[in-house]
Amino acid sequence: MSNEAIKTDNELEKISPATDIVETENGFYMYMDLPGVGKKDLDIDVEENVMIVKGKAATSVIEGEKYLLQEFGEGEYVRRFTVADIVDSKNIKANLKNGVLELFLPKIPEAKPRKIEVSYS
Amino acid sequence: MVIDLGSVYNFPYEFDKVFNEVFNPRQYKRGKASYPPINIGEDEKNVYVHAEMPGLAIEDMDIEITAKDLVIKGERKLPEGRYFRQERTSGVFQRIISINTLVDVDNVSASMKDGILRIIMPKAESSVPKKIAVEIE
């Protein structure tokens, strides 16, 4: 039984989700398109400096529905990121809304830009 | 001497892109097809249109239906800021879907879940197939 489950997992098409990364003074915002992925099917793992995002997209088909045209389907979103040392990886925040995963990766205080005061003499 | 560090900085990204295009052809492909990608299905009672539109709310789009076509249009805006990497598509989109079945235009409904739009169009009475009893002599 457990072998069967693994098999179906492997059969799902792997999709690398389109990702935007925006840098601010305090950290990095990441936006990842994960249409069809619900909260329970999303998995984010951070191990040392590697972050893995996995999500299963559910099929949109309704019971009894016959497809006439299909341009997208079910699949598994997988993407692996190397997190820079300047990120405080213990405080990564995630929010899933309308099929977009928003991640905030705060910078460690030492990495934040400092203003240098210039004095006149 | 001034060295343009920008080009050096881009190198890992450019390399990554070429690598992914060769070994993972599915990546980035979604942006190249018509936007949004759709699935069309039907059963005896309804015609269904599903569209993959992550990050959009029902308020961000216009859905119009005439006797012949279904038009989905809107604009996808991305957050402003200094982009480190940008792969998601943005801008104005429009998709026109021809329907060759008569639908009950007044009872069309649309909903959005996890970035997938679902439009349910009930078939008009006249286009629901009727069984004709054939008598064999």
pLDDT tens digit sequence for A36-45: 999 999 999 9
- DSSP assignment of B11-43 equals HHHHHHHHHHHHH-TTTTGGGTSSSS-EEEEE-
* Mean pLDDT across chain A: 86
Collapsing DSSP states into helix, strand and coil, what is residue B70?
strand
**What mean pLDDT is predicted for residues B68-90?**
89
**Is pLDDT of A7 > 80?**
no
Instruction: For residue B28, give the nearest of A92, A57, A17 by alpha carbon.
Output: A17
Q: Could you tell me which chain B residue has the CA closest to the CA of A75? A: B26
pLDDT tens-digit series, residues A55-96: 998 877 888 888 888 888 888 999 999 988 889 988 999 999
Contact status, residue A26 vs residue A106, Cβ threshold 8 Å: yes
Cβ–Cβ below 8 Å for A33 and B88: yes
pLDDT of the residue at B30: 47
CA distances from A65 to A60, B11, B40, B45, B120 (A): 10, 47, 9, 10, 11
Q: Which residues of B touch A87 (CB under 8 A)?
A: none
Element (H, E) at A52: strand A50-57
pLDDT of the residue at A3: 45
CA atoms within 13 A on the CB side of B8: 4
Cα torsion angle, A98, A46, A92, A86, sign: negative
pTM: 0.73
Cβ–Cβ below 8 Å for A19 and B85: yes
E-only strand ranges, B43-115: 46-52, 61-65, 69-76, 82-85, 91-98, 109-113
**Is pLDDT of A16 > 50?**
yes
A121: closest CA of chain B, how far (Å): 31
B-interface mutation test, from A12, A25, A26, A68, most B Cβ less than 10 A away: A68
Q: How confident is the model at residue A120 (pLDDT cuts 50, 70, 90)?
A: confident
Cβ–Cβ below 8 Å for B88 and A58: no
